[in-house]
Structure 1
Amino acid sequence: LYRLNGVGARRAKGFQVTNCTAWGNLINFGGNRAYDVVYDYCVSDQPKKSDDELYTDYAFTFVEHSVRILVRNATVDQMYTDVLADPSSSAAIEWALSRNVAHVGASGNNEFRPENSITRAEAAEFFWRYAGRPGMLPLRYDYFDDPSSDVSADSFCADAVRWLEDDEIAAGNNFRAEDKITIQEICSAMLRYAYLVEDASSEASRALTLSGEDTKWETPSKPSSQEEEKVALDWACEQGIVTKAEAADPKASFTRARMMGMLQALDNAKTTTAK
């Protein structure tokens, strides 16, 4: 991950990795603050020994605001075993993989569970990855207190929940991590995020600045707290993030696959200018 002691560069820029095969690593190929990196004809293989000796969680993954990563002519043995070629969901999941929003691996990560109702914890994690992993990314979890009464510092969603609380997208004291997230909650979170990207003091804005993009959404005037829920639903409909039928049932839950579709729609609705 180019995070070795003594490496002084803030960005791994200009690497080209060609004709390499990796197996049995937690991450076979990856980048940390990687800019303009090319992986060509690389093979991410399954473990060659028993799973308890060598394992692979992620074939390719890029963290801490890595951008402009080109992976071409790759061979990846890891795959989701439960995502069928259904255009209504598989295209969005493929997009999520390409954007590093979703991960696939061989050690317990080979099922996406597309039809499972998504929890607030899972939605937070996916949203945080989409936003460029805003906030401080610790090397060790014991540097930090638990971000919520029901989310420990070593939870898979701890960094995501900490960001949502710090940027005031969602309250963190009792995050209700295992509850199902509703249409209303995701629409409100996305609208708050759209406002934040223009606030230079926010973690969301800083993550976008590091990514080298200037991203904005067309947003309504900030509503009062009493009007926010309706405004968020109307805005999400206008942006194509949710359907009118979904907005008409704001307390309904939705699936993990649908979350990928919402994030893809949010991404499609933005206006982006490279810096």
Structure 2
Amino acid sequence: MQTVTVTDKKGNNIPVTPLGNNKYSFTMPGTAVTIEAELLPLSDIVTFTDVPANAYYADAVTWTVRNGVTKGTTETTFSPNASCTRAQAVTFLWRAAGSPEPASTRNPFTDVKSDAYYYKAVLWALEKGITVGTTATTFSPNNDCTRAQIVTFLYRFLGE
């Protein structure tokens, strides 16, 4: 994972498209360009035995682990084909947002205990309108998160 910047001879940025697996593309203008890349030391590269370097999700896995959004399911595996629970999904979003403290500790969900790892994430997601629970009094933290739920969480998380 790296940062790549391309500028033309006048210093204007040229859009760069990440292709995954640390490859990038850009449309070459009719003039010379300057390419700058910020490389990571090998010690910062995240690898798991079940995440091939050329997998479409490899860069995303590295980003989420490096940014504290999630970690592997073991020291050497990520389990990319495992499903996520509703608790995990809102926790990923909460951590991606910087793990902000919820404004309130009012918890309407009988199935979200105050000592659960996802407690603050659920309260935050509730107050931000990302989720309303599966009923007025349940969140169903251990249920698998459906594709419909995760895209709805993302849509609301991004403020749409």
Structure 2: distance between partners of 1:79 and 1:86: 12
Pairwise CA distance, 1:122: 1.0
Pairwise CA distance, 1:147: 6.5
8 A contact 2:90–2:153 mirrored in 1:
no
Describe the superposition over 1:252-274 as per-residue Cα deviations: whole angstroms up to 9, x where unpaired.
Answer: xxxxxxxxxxxxxxxxxxxxxxx
Identity of paired residues, percent?
Answer: 28
Describe the superposition over 1:120-153 as per-residue Cα deviations: whole angstroms up to 9, x where unpaired.
Answer: 111111111111212249xxxxxx6766322211
Correspondence 1:177 to 2:145: no
Pairwise CA distance, 1:81: 4.1
TM-score, normalization by structure 1: 0.36
Q: What residue number does 2:151 align with?
A: 187
Structure 1: distance between partners of 2:77 and 2:95: 18
Describe the superposition over 1:63-110 as per-residue Cα deviations: whole angstroms up to 9, x where unpaired.
Answer: xxxxxxxxx64737x9644333242222210121232212359xx554
Q: What residue number does 1:90 align with?
A: 58
After TM superposition, the runs of 4+ consecutive aligned structure 1 residues lying more than 4 A away are 144-147
Q: What residue number does 1:164 align with?
A: 125
Q: What residue number does 1:223 align with?
A: none
Secondary structure of the 2:158 match is: helix
8 A contact 1:79–1:104 mirrored in 2:
no
8 A contact 2:47–2:62 mirrored in 1:
no
Residue of 100, 110, 113 corresponding to 1:152: 113
Structure 1: distance between partners of 2:145 and 2:79: 16
User: Cα RMSD (Å) of the superposition?
Assistant: 3.3
Q: What residue number does 1:114 align with?
A: 80
TM-score, normalization by structure 2: 0.59
How many residues matched?
119
8 A contact 1:147–1:162 mirrored in 2:
no
Structure 2: distance between partners of 1:126 and 1:185: 14
Alignment of 1:241-252 (within 5 A): none
Describe the superposition over 1:10-51 as per-residue Cα deviations: whole angstroms up to 9, x where unpaired.
Answer: xxxxxxxxxxxxxxxxxxxxxxxxxxxxxxxxxxxxxxxxxx
Unmatched segments (≥5 aa) in structure 1: 1-71, 138-143, 196-218, 220-275
